[in-house]
Structures are given as C-alpha cells and as structure tokens.
C-alpha cells in the first residue's frame, strides 16, 4: 500500500465522512464480534485504583466506554482522535451514557500527543494504528505518556494464517466487505481502503518486534477469532 493512501489529511476526512454510519457498519461487518475484541483489549489494561487511561484514535469512544464499564469507580479516560466527525459522535455517546465526568474527549494526533511524559496508567488503541502513517512514532508516543510499569495495548486486524480459513477471509474482506460497506455508508473509497490497510499490516511477530524496537518490554500478543485480530501488549520501561 503506498504511503499516500495513509496521508493524514486523507485519513482524517475519510473517517469524518463515514462517521455517521461507523458504529452500524462495525457491527454488521464483524457480526458483532468487534465488541468482544475491544473487551479483550480493555481487559489487558492494569486494574489500578483511580487509574487514568488514554484511548488513542478513540473514534466513537467504544473503547473509552468499555474501560469505564470494566474498571472500578474513580477510573478516568482521556480519548483522543483527529477526526472531528468521529469525535462529535463519540462525545454524544459519552454524554448519553452519563459518562461525561469520567471520559474527556479531545482532538489530538496520535503521533504528537499533547500530554506530559508518565501521565497515564495505560494507553490503548483499537483499529487505529494501521491508519497512522508513521505508526512507530504512534507507538513511541503512546509509551512516552504512560508511567513506568504501565501497559500499552494495541488491538488491530492481522493477516489470517490458517490455510483453510485464509481464502474465505480474503474473499470476505476484498469482495463482500467493500460491497456491504458501500451499500450501508453510501461512500465508495473508505471501504476499498479498509481491506487494503488490513492486508498491508505486519504479522503479529513483526509487529511485536517493532514494539520492542520502540523500547517496550515483555511484548506479547493474543490472536483472537482465528487470528482476524490480535491484541499486542507491551510494558513501559
Ligand atoms: C477504525 S477507527 C477506530 C475507532 C475506535 N478506536 C474503535 O475501536 O472503533 C480509526 C480511528 O483512528 C483515527 N485516527 C487515524 N489516524 C489517527 C491519528 N494519526 N491521530 C489520531 N487519530 C487517528 C481516525 O480518525 C478514526 O477515528
């Protein structure tokens, strides 16, 4: 996939365009499994009293809301994203869930986070890192703002390896997914970009190495649903 496809301005406007149908399409295209994937990622964050977590590329805030549901009272989340369209919907969901005091939703770029070093107990990004043009810088930034010993958790699609499942999966994401995506959203480009970005993403082993190269320790990953997604977890030095 060429670099231009991940031009930040292009990604920003693509997500703002699909924002109104984003949640619906997530559920339809993943048949509802996306909720389990996010729940698993959130379960890898440390359980600490009065913790503050950072949800990068928070989009419509599903991960931020899941953190509040799964952690003790007193937990707070800052959710950041660079698409105003997604943030608007995220803010509305947070308000409707009565979580306005617990989740702070802000505009920020993953590659240049507006926070001091060692601010958070953990950082998480779900289905965001593959869209970040300089994703190494994104990983570094997410580690920089986390306290020593805290966790960085990354949920992302991966390339399915199973010989039996792979052809079916490829057919689904390269043919069925763009078709359904276009039908439901009424937008062409975004759901063509999605399969390309999914197939283009490094394998879990390679991605783990990248996380280690950026300075994270004890990096491990969990493959979910036949390896359609993987959750990588690294400990901040
Ligand atoms: C597929 S959505 C994922 C949203 C949410 N995390 C979820 O689990 O549904 C990807 C999000 O990443 C955001 N994004 C992509 N690149 C970004 C960047 N460099 N900085 C901040 N947000 C970014 C997009 O605006 C979009 O909201």
Q: Is the CB of 230 under 6 A from ligand 1?
A: no
Ligand 1, atom 1, lies closest to the CA of 127
Ligand 1: which of 80, 89, 131 to mutate, judged by most atoms within 8 Å of the beta carbon? 131
| DSSP symbols for 111-144 | TB--S-TT-EEEEEEES-GGG-TTHHHHHHHHHH
Give 111 or 190, the one with higher predicted confidence.
Answer: 111
Q: How confident is the model at residue 219 (pLDDT cuts 50, 70, 90)?
A: very high
Q: What is the pLDDT of residue 2?
A: 66
Listed ranges 16-20, 191-195, 212-216; the one with the highest mean pLDDT: 212-216
What's the CA gap between 207 and 187, in Å, rounded? Answer: 31
Q: Is the CB of 110 under 6 A from ligand 1?
A: yes
Q: Return the ligand 1 atom nearest residue 87 CA.
A: 27
SS3 of 213, please?
helix
**Whether the predicted pLDDT of 216 surpasses 80:** yes
Output the CA 145–ligand 1 centroid distance in Å.
Answer: 18
Question: Stretch 1-29: mean pLDDT, rounded?
Answer: 85
Give 149 or 196, the one with higher predicted confidence.
Answer: 149
Span 3-162+202-235: which CATH code?
Answer: 3.40.50.150
Output the CA 21–ligand 1 centroid distance in Å.
Answer: 15
Residue 224: Cβ-neighbour burial (10 angstroms; 0-12, 13-18, 19+)? middle
Average pLDDT, the chain: 93
Q: Is the CB of 67 under 6 A from ligand 1?
A: no
Q: Is the CB of 132 under 6 A from ligand 1?
A: yes
Ligand 1: which of 13, 42, 82, 128 to mutate, judged by most atoms within 8 Å of the beta carbon? 128
Q: What is the pLDDT of residue 3?
A: 67
Sign of the alpha-carbon torsion through 16, 18, 23, 29: negative
Output the CA 75–ligand 1 centroid distance in Å.
Answer: 22
- % residues pLDDT > 70 (the chain): 98
What's the CA gap between 197 and 14, in Å, rounded? Answer: 13
Q: How confident is the model at residue 116 (pLDDT cuts 50, 70, 90)?
A: very high
Question: Stretch 64-89: mean pLDDT, rounded?
Answer: 97
């Amino acid at each position: 996939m060429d670099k231009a496809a991940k031009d930040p301005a292009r990604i920003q406007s693509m997500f703002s365009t699909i924002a109104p149908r984003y949640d619906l399409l997530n559920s339809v295209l993943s048949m509802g499994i996306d909720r389990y994937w996010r729940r698993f990622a959130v379960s890898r964050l440390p359980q600490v009293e009065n913790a503050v977590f950072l949800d990068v590329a928070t989009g419509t805030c599903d991960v931020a809301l899941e953190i509040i549901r799964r952690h003790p009272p007193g937990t707070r989340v800052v959710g950041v994203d660079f698409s105003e369209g997604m943030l608007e919907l995220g803010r509305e969901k947070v308000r409707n869930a009565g979580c306005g005091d617990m989740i702070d939703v802000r505009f920020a770029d993953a590659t240049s986070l507006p926070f001091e070093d060692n601010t958070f107990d953990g950082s998480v990004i779900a289905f965001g890192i593959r869209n970040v043009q300089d994703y190494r810088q994104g990983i570094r930034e997410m580690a920089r703002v986390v306290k020593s010993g805290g966790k960085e958790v990354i949920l992302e699609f991966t390339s399915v390896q199973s010989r039996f499942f792979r052809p079916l999966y490829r057919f689904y994401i390269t043919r069925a997914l763009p078709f359904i995506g276009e039908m439901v959203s009424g937008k062409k480009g975004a759901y063509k970009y999605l399969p390309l970005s999914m197939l283009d993403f490094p394998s879990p082993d390679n991605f783990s190495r990248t996380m280690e190269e950026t300075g994270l320790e004890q990096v491990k990953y969990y493959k979910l649903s036949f390896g359609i997604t993987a959750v990588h977890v690294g400990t901040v030095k």
